[in-house]
């Protein structure tokens, strides 16, 4: 089981990664003994090329990837609204602030919370809408190892 110290160390590693290097995120959410915490889904925002690069790399590592184009309506209605009623899950993503806002607003009603949130440098991102801030984030159960933060 991941303890607070191990999680903090892994979080520091995660926060210093370049966006294109986020493929090692699967390792960043695992303890040195192995993956105690797994990412149930990675949410990739098609509006940002780097988000799709990360999604591709994580998908190749076996992390389930879901793609959006900023709008979470279909994803929420067809997947997460049902899944979250059964049990909290661990999500990670690189999305616009607009998509993250929806998830972080809904999460507490289902026993989840934002455990990591970092604004990314827009100057390095390819975006069709430069007005939306981009974040890397993790949403996890309030009772998971992430709750220690």
DSSP string spanning 65-127?
EEEESS--HHHIIIIIHHHHHH----EEEEEEHHHHHHHHHHGGGGTEEEEEEEE--GGG--B
Res. 17: pLDDT tops 60 = no
pLDDT, position 122: 55
pLDDT, position 148: 47
The CA distance from 16 to 13, in Å, is 5
Question: Do the Cβ atoms of 1 and 31 come closer than 8 Å?
Answer: yes
pLDDT, position 66: 95
Res. 45: pLDDT tops 50 = yes
Span 45-72, average pLDDT: 90
Q: How many CB atoms lie within 10 A of CB 131?
A: 9
pLDDT, position 128: 53
Check the CA dihedral 63-69-71-74 and report its sign. negative
pLDDT, position 21: 44
| Domain extent at residue 19 | 4-148
The CA distance from 68 to 74, in Å, is 9
Please tell me whether residue 133 adopts helix, strand or coil conformation: coil
Of 80 and 3, which is predicted with more confidence? 80
Span 116-142, average pLDDT: 75
pLDDT, position 53: 87
Res. 41: pLDDT tops 70 = yes
Split into its structural domains, the chain has a count of: 1
Strands 65-68 and 41-45: parallel
Res. 137: pLDDT tops 70 = yes
**Is the whole model's pTM more than 0.85, yes or no?**
no
């Amino acid at each position: 089981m991941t303890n607070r110290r191990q999680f903090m160390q892994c979080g520091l590693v995660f926060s210093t990664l370049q966006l294109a290097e986020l493929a090692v995120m699967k390792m960043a959410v695992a303890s040195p003994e192995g993956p105690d915490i797994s990412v149930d889904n990675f949410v990739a925002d098609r509006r940002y090329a780097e988000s799709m690069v990360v999604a591709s790399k994580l998908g190749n590592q076996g992390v389930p990837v879901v793609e959006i184009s900023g709008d979470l309506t279909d994803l929420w209605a067809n997947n997460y609204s049902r899944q979250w009623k059964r049990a909290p899950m661990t999500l990670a993503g690189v999305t616009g602030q607009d998509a993250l806002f929806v998830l972080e607003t809904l999460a507490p009603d289902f026993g989840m919370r934002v455990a990591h949130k970092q604004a990314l440098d827009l100057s390095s991102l390819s975006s069709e809408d430069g007005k939306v801030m981009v974040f890397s984030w993790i949403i996890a159960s309030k009772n998971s190892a992430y709750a220690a933060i």
